[in-house]
Structure 1
Amino acid sequence: CEPSRARGKGEEEKFVMVIPPPNVTGSLHLGHALTAAVEDTLTRWHRMKGHASLYVPGTDHAGIATQSVVEKMLMKESNQNRHDLGRTKFVEKVWEWKKEYGNRITTQLRSLGSSVDWSRERFTMDDTCSRAVVEAFNRFHEGGLLYRANRLGNWSCALKSAISDIEVDYIDLEGRTFLEVKTHKGNPADPKGRYEFGTLTSFAYPIEDSDEVLVVATTRLETMLGDTGVAIHPDDPRYKHLHGKHVIHPFNGRKIPIVC
Structure 2
Amino acid sequence: MVIPPPNVTGSLHLGHALTNSVEDAICRWHRMKGRTALWVPGCDHAGIATQVAVEKKIKREEGKSRHDLGREEFIKRVWQWKNEKGDRIYHQLEKMGSSLDWDRTTFTMDPGPQEAVKEAFVRMHEDGTIYRSNRLVNWSCTLKSAISDIEVEKKELPGRTELPVPGYDEKVEFGVLVSFAYQVEDSHERIIVATTRIETMLGDTAVAVHPKDERYKHLRGKTLVHPFTNRKLPILEDDFVEMEFGTGAVKITPAHDPNDYEVGKRHSLPFLTIFTDDGYIVEGYGQFTGMKRFEARKAVLEALQEKGLYVETKDNPMVVPVCSRSKDIIEPMIKPQWYVKCLDMAAKAIEAVKSGELEIIPKMHEKTWYHWMEEMRDWCISRQLWWGHQIPAYFVKIDDPSFPARQASFVLFDELTFSMLS
TM class, shorter-length: 0.7 to 0.9
> Alpha-carbon deviations, 1:7-32, whole Å to 9, x = none?
xxxxxxxxxx0011011111111221
- Structure 1 or 2: more helix by fraction: 1
Q: CA deviation at 1:150?
A: 2.9
CA-atom RMSD in angstroms: 1.8
1:176 maps to 2:160: yes
Report the residue type matching 2:28 in the other structure. Answer: R
- Unpaired runs of at least 5, structure 1: 1-16, 187-192
Q: Which residue of 1 aligns with 2:44?
A: 60
Of the two, which has the highest radius of gyration? 1
Aligned partner (choices 165, 176, 181) of residue 204 of structure 1: 181
CA distance in 2, matches of 1:216, 1:140: 45
> Alpha-carbon deviations, 1:35-67, whole Å to 9, x = none?
101111112222233333210101111111111
Q: CA deviation at 1:134?
A: 2.1
Residues 202, 24 of structure 1: alpha-carbon distance in 2 compared, 3 angstrom cutoff = same
TM-score by length of 2: 0.53
> Alpha-carbon deviations, 1:217-244, whole Å to 9, x = none?
0111000001122222222222233344
The DSSP-based 3-state class of the residue aligned with 1:32 is: helix
Q: Which residue of 2 aligns with 1:28?
A: 12
Aligned partner (choices 64, 85, 93) of residue 101 of structure 1: 85
1:213 maps to 2:190: yes
Q: CA deviation at 1:126?
A: 1.2
Q: Which residue of 2 aligns with 1:10?
A: none
What percent identity do the matched residue pairs reach? 63
CA distance in 1, matches of 2:33, 2:70: 52
Q: Which residue of 2 aligns with 1:232?
A: 209
Residues 253, 38 of structure 1: alpha-carbon distance in 2 compared, 3 angstrom cutoff = same
Alignment coverage as a number of residue pairs:
237
Q: CA deviation at 1:85?
A: 2.1
Q: Which residue of 2 aligns with 1:91?
A: 75
CA distance in 2, matches of 1:22, 1:170: 24
- Structure 1 or 2: more strand by fraction: 2
> Alpha-carbon deviations, 1:142-198, whole Å to 9, x = none?
2222333333333333323333333333322222222232322x3xxxxxx322222
1:81 maps to 2:58: no
CA distance in 2, matches of 1:104, 1:168: 27
**Range with greater deviation from structure 2 (62-71 or 85-94):** 85-94
List aligned pairs for 1:94-133, cutoff 5 A. Answer: 94-133=78-117
> Alpha-carbon deviations, 1:90-136, whole Å to 9, x = none?
22211111110111111111011111111111111112112222222
Report the residue type matching 2:55 in the other structure. Answer: E
CA distance in 2, matches of 1:200, 1:107: 52
Residues 103, 199 of structure 1: alpha-carbon distance in 2 compared, 3 angstrom cutoff = same
CA distance in 2, matches of 1:62, 1:78: 23
CA distance in 1, matches of 2:34, 2:218: 79
Q: Which residue of 1 aligns with 2:125?
A: 141
1:253 maps to 2:230: yes
Report the residue type matching 2:176 in the other structure. Answer: T
Residues 47, 196 of structure 1: alpha-carbon distance in 2 compared, 3 angstrom cutoff = same
1:154 maps to 2:138: yes
Report the residue type matching 1:148 in the other structure. Answer: R
Report the residue type matching 2:223 in the other structure. Answer: H
Q: Which residue of 2 aligns with 1:3?
A: none
The answer as to whether partners of 1:157 and 1:183 remain within 8 angstroms in 2 is no
